[in-house]
Amino acid sequence: MKTIGQNILRIGLLIMFLIAASKVSAATNGNLAKGDLEKIGPSFVRTVAMSGVAANINGKSYQYVILQGDPAVLAVYKLPTKELVDQVKLPKSTAAWAITADAGGQAWIGGTPTAALYSYNPTTKKLTNHGTPDKSHTSILDLEVVGNAIYGSTAPNGKVFKFENGKFTTLGEVTGVQKNARSLAFQNGSDRLFVGSGSKASLIVWDLKTNKKMEILPAAYKNENDVYDLDYAQGLIFAKVSPSKKVLVFEANTNKFIKELPAGSRGVSSASPLDGSVYYSYMKNSSTSLYRFNPKTRIAEDMKVNLAGTEAVSLDFVKIPSGETILTGLLGNTGTHLLYNVSNNNVEIAKLNLPEQSVPIHTIGSDNTGSIFTSGYVSGQISIFSPITTDKTLITGIGQVEGMIAYNGGMYLGVYPAGEVMYYHPVTNPYGTSIFSVAQMGQNRPISLAVAPNEKVLAVGSHPKQGTVSGSLSYYNLDTKKVSHRKALFPNQSIVSLTYSNGFFYGGTSTFANSKSEGIGTAKFFRISAKNINAQPEELSSPIAKPRLISAMVAGPASTIWGVADGTVFVYNSKTKKSQSILVVSRTSGQIRNGSLVDGKDGYMYGTIENKLFRIHMTSYKLEMLGSQLANGVALGADGNIYFTNGGDIWRYIK
């Protein structure tokens, strides 16, 4: 009986799966019906070379390049011909900041957003996914090879790990304050690991034998955001600080600061096998040149090599089949590649054949006409899709959009990493312009936006950059163009959701705002007068017990406010001051964004939580899960259907 019951259950689950799959398949093939899910396709297709490294293996030389995508891709080129010999997808990663090569020429890669560690052998063309150090990591920011071990630095917890003999060991937090352990360098012949952190710059020397740590960054550089890159060569440590275009030089043995070098490249090259010199790039008077630094004389020299206005992303020495030693690397993020013969000064700058990749979609929304706006992760572009004509418009030169709100035929956009609030209008402002910034408040993610049409005020809630605690609230007067800011409306929290109703802005906060008590407090549900940013905010009854994150909020009919608190949708009646709660998922992740909501104008509120698409009837509060397709973000299109994203693709739910 137990076996029969199990078989019946399996058959039932299989039938349910086939029905869901057939609905997606039918919609994809154009036979659309109510309840179908249709894949529209990618918003962005482009090539972004994020990082690279070059190495020799078995007498051959290779350039490894990481391409942002969904998923990210490792592209492998043979040198010096630059022939593309392999491209490998990095499962569960959309980007990879960290890449290095071991003594045998294998590439080691650290991914994001799952902090997966990979290795790749160009001889066998085999990629190995070694897993992740632990679940608290989302990104591996740098990797360092030390003998048979791989050391890695991570975010958002500022830790260092070791991978050896197939096992991960977490060594611990670098400072206990900085969340990003940005860069690593190991002093040869010692037990000393140098670790650069941010957003308040820090440079730590970590004795792995005694576990003692020492801060060595001079006070003059404490206001930098990051120690973005570290390199060890010829007894010296080279530390690239950001945002300044400077490389700081230290004696590794004594930790003594020697000098600073004007430098725009990500760091310096490995030491030249010919004379031990390191190379870097620097732009001066709109011209970028290659520089050489001699560790013995400690003198830098301009090599008068024009790098076509781009800074070096990677620089490595390899020996090509002819026996010559070549400096090779990436210039910028568009695939420009350098081959430089240090012996005869022969320079070759050319474009690599980068395979195009689908860019992950970060946010989705719609304007007053029902056009669908999407922003790419890191890509600095916006795609506008018309559900009626299926035309697509691409706007470049805008950073990663964190939040958006439609108003009067245009769109207000909150843009990372500059912390800018921009305005776009298809007729009067087709390229988008910045109207104000929240950077001076220590913020870099204007994530929640709402408009009070009667008061003519745009409200913006922002999330702080690393190293700054607490978010901010900004009011922008749409008539006078004046802006007012208010820091830490709720200390140790940031305002990540906003909407407007009857003279008030209603908002929700995140308990993750860079404080030492992150995720421990209770997220706030509040309202504040749309006329006065300095008014006392009114805290409203918490929709659930101790929410960590109230990630979405929209105004519904009949004076209701709908929101997402952790995995629960709540409905607050501003007249009766009573709430209704609907549990969607029991466990959630995310720190500033996890849920989304949109009024479907058909009696249902649509939304996503934990990549699950759902709708809730606005009067009966009945919950309905909509298909099995992973979904993130929701928007209402001009055709009346619901649009959402999955990875790099736009999808729609046919109502």
Print the domain residue range for 81: 47-136+315-356
What is Dmax (Cα atoms) for the chain?
84
12-26, 127-141, 480-494, 590-604: range with lowest mean pLDDT? 12-26
Task: Give the pLDDT confidence of 377-397 residue by residue, as tens digits.
Answer: 877 789 999 999 999 999 988
Q: Which two tokens stand for residue 76?
A: 């492998």
Same domain as 480, residue 365: yes
DSSP 441: G
Q: Are 53 and 40 in contact, with CB atoms under 8 Å apart?
A: no
179-188, 457-466, 512-521, 533-542: range with lowest mean pLDDT? 512-521
* Count of other CB atoms within 10 angstroms of residue 429: 14
How confident is the model at residue 46, as a pLDDT?
83
Same domain as 517, residue 374: yes
Same domain as 575, residue 437: yes
Q: Which two tokens stand for residue 40?
A: 């529209």
Of 324, 356, 388, the position where a domain reaches its end is 356
DSSP 221: G
Residue type, 12: G
- Report which of 646, 465, 650 is spatially closest to residue 94, judged by C-alpha positions: 646
Same domain as 388, residue 320: no
Given a cut of 80, whether residue 642 has pLDDT beyond it is: yes
178 occurs within a structural domain = no
Same domain as 602, residue 524: yes
- pLDDT confidence of 513, banded at 50, 70, 90? confident
530 occurs within a structural domain = yes
Same domain as 480, residue 616: yes
Task: Give the pLDDT confidence of 44-80 residue by residue, as tens digits.
Answer: 988 889 999 999 999 999 999 999 998 999 999 999 9
- Report which of 249, 267, 270, 246 is spatially closest to residue 328, judged by C-alpha positions: 270
Of 298, 330, 356, the position where a domain reaches its end is 356
Given a cut of 50, whether residue 27 has pLDDT beyond it is: no
Same domain as 525, residue 599: yes
261 occurs within a structural domain = no
How confident is the model at residue 333, as a pLDDT?
92
How confident is the model at residue 157, as a pLDDT?
84
Same domain as 346, residue 385: no
Given a cut of 60, whether residue 252 has pLDDT beyond it is: yes
DSSP 220: G
CATH assignment at residue 344? 2.40.128
Phi-psi region of 299 (alpha: psi -120 to 50; beta: other; left: phi over 0): beta
Given a cut of 60, whether residue 180 has pLDDT beyond it is: yes
How confident is the model at residue 21, as a pLDDT?
37
Average pLDDT of span 411-431: 96
Ramachandran angles phi, psi of 177, nearest 5° = -120, -60
569 occurs within a structural domain = yes
116 occurs within a structural domain = yes
Do the strands 494-501 and 504-510 form a parallel or antiparallel pair, or are they unpaired? antiparallel
438 occurs within a structural domain = yes
Same domain as 430, residue 352: no
Q: Are 381 and 395 in contact, with CB atoms under 8 Å apart?
A: yes
Side-chain-side CA neighbours of residue 202 (13 Å)? 24
Same domain as 328, residue 417: no
What is the spatial order of strands in the sheet that 299-306 belongs to? Answer: 278-284, 287-294, 299-306
CA Rg value for the chain = 26
Do the strands 649-653 and 642-646 form a parallel or antiparallel pair, or are they unpaired? antiparallel
Q: Are 60 and 81 in contact, with CB atoms under 8 Å apart?
A: no
Given a cut of 90, whether residue 156 has pLDDT beyond it is: no
Average pLDDT of span 459-479: 94
578 occurs within a structural domain = yes
Helix (H) / strand (E) containing 230 = strand 226-233
- Report which of 454, 453, 451, 497 is spatially closest to residue 475, judged by C-alpha positions: 451
Given a cut of 70, whether residue 588 has pLDDT beyond it is: yes
Same domain as 558, residue 438: yes
Share of the chain above pLDDT 70, in %: 95
Average pLDDT of span 594-618: 97
d(CA 567, CA 552): 11
The torsion of the CA quartet 611, 563, 565, 610, rounded to 10 degrees, works out to 0
CATH assignment at residue 423? 2.130.10.10
How confident is the model at residue 5, as a pLDDT?
37
Of 330, 356, 382, the position where a domain reaches its end is 356
What total number of domains does the chain contain?
Answer: 2
How confident is the model at residue 285, as a pLDDT?
87
199 occurs within a structural domain = no
- pLDDT confidence of 30, banded at 50, 70, 90? low
Same domain as 348, residue 449: no
Quick check: pTM over 0.95?
no
Helix (H, G, I), strand (E, B) or coil at 25: helix
Given a cut of 80, whether residue 12 has pLDDT beyond it is: no
